[in-house]
Amino acid sequence: MKKRWQRLSAREKALVGVAAAVLFAIVANSLIVDPYLERRAWVKTQLELEPQRLEKNLRYLARRAEMIAALESARSQLKNREPKLLTGDTPSVSASDLQDVVQALAAKEGTQVITTRVLNPEPEGSFSKISIQMEIGAQIDQAANLVRAIEMSAKLLVVDEINVRSLFRPIGFPRAPGVPPQPTAQNLRLSLTVSGFARNQTAAANQTGSVPQPSRKNVGKAS
C-alpha cells in the first residue's frame, strides 16, 4: 500500500484525500449528526408535551372526588337494576325464566301462546342477551296490551321484532282446505322476539368492576 501510494501523482493523492474526507463526512453524519439531531428534536417535542400532560393530570386530580362519586353512583344504579335481570346460572336457565315471565304476561292479557323457540344467547359486554321467539294468537287490543306489558315488565325485557299476520277472512272468502274457522277472539298471529338480559358468570364473580348497562332497543316490523 505504501509503494502504491508513492506511485500516485500529487493530483491522484489529492483526489484520494478528498474522497476519504467525503466518506468520513458521510459516516460521521450518519452515525453522529443524524442521531444527535433526532434526539434533540425528540427532547424538544417531549418538553413541549410535558406541560400539556401535567395540566391534563392536574385536571384529573381536581375531579377525583367527582369521578369517585360518579363511580359509586353507577355501582348503586347497577345494584338497583339487579332484580331486573333474568335469573339463572346458565343461558338455558335464564331462557326458561324469560319464557315463564312472558307466558305469564300472555295469559294475563288473554292471549294464546302457540309455539316458543329459544334463540342463541348473544354476549353484550358483561351481560348475555337471552332471546325467545314466540307465536301468539290474539286480538288486536290483546296484542297491543301484551307488547306494552312486556315493555313495562318488572324484568328488563325488550321486544326486538314483531311480525303480525291477520287471520280474518270476510264472509264468503274461501279458506284453504283443512283450515278450521278461527274464532273472532284470535284473528291475529303474532311472531314476537322478546329479549332479556342475564349477567355473565365471569361478571357475577367480579362485582367490583365497571359494568355497562344493557340498552333498550325496539325494532318493529309488520307484514
The DSSP result for 21-43, as a single string, is: HHHHHHHHIIIIIHHHHHHHHHH
Amino acid 201: pLDDT: 59
Residue 55 covered by a domain: yes
188 and 166 Cβ atoms separated by less than 8 Å = yes
Q: Is 93 found in the same domain as 156?
A: yes
The CA-atom distances, in angstroms, between 4 and each of 8, 18, 152 are: 7, 18, 101
Of how many residues is the chain composed? 223
Cβ-based neighbours of 191, under 8 Å, separated by 6 or more: 133, 134, 135, 136, 161, 162, 163, 164, 165
Query: CA 68 to CA 187: how far, in whole Å?
Result: 56
Question: For each successive 10 residues of the chain (223 residues), what is the average pLDDT?
Answer: 69 76 78 80 82 83 84 79 81 89 91 90 85 90 90 88 76 54 64 88 48 43 38
Q: Which of 95, 147, 152, 84 is nearest to 119 (CA)?
A: 95
Residue 103 covered by a domain: yes
Residue 223 covered by a domain: no
Q: Is 186 found in the same domain as 114?
A: yes
Amino acid 195: pLDDT: 92
Number of H helices, E strands in the chain: 7, 5
Residue 212 covered by a domain: no
Amino acid 149: pLDDT: 92
Residue 20 covered by a domain: yes
Q: Is 201 found in the same domain as 122?
A: yes
Q: How many CA atoms lie within 13 A of 41 on its CB side?
A: 6
Query: CA 181 to CA 128: how far, in whole Å?
Result: 42
Query: CA 180 to CA 176: how far, in whole Å?
Result: 9
Residue 73 covered by a domain: no
211 and 81 Cβ atoms separated by less than 8 Å = no
Q: Is 45 found in the same domain as 137?
A: no
Residue 200 covered by a domain: yes
Which residues form the domain of 122? 83-169+182-205
Query: CA 203 to CA 206: how far, in whole Å?
Result: 5
What total number of domains does the chain contain? 2
Q: Where are the alpha helices (DSSP H) in 1-90?
A: 2-7, 10-28, 34-62, 64-81
Amino acid 177: pLDDT: 60
Whole-structure pTM over 0.85, yes or no?
no
Amino acid 216: pLDDT: 44
Q: Is 93 found in the same domain as 13?
A: no
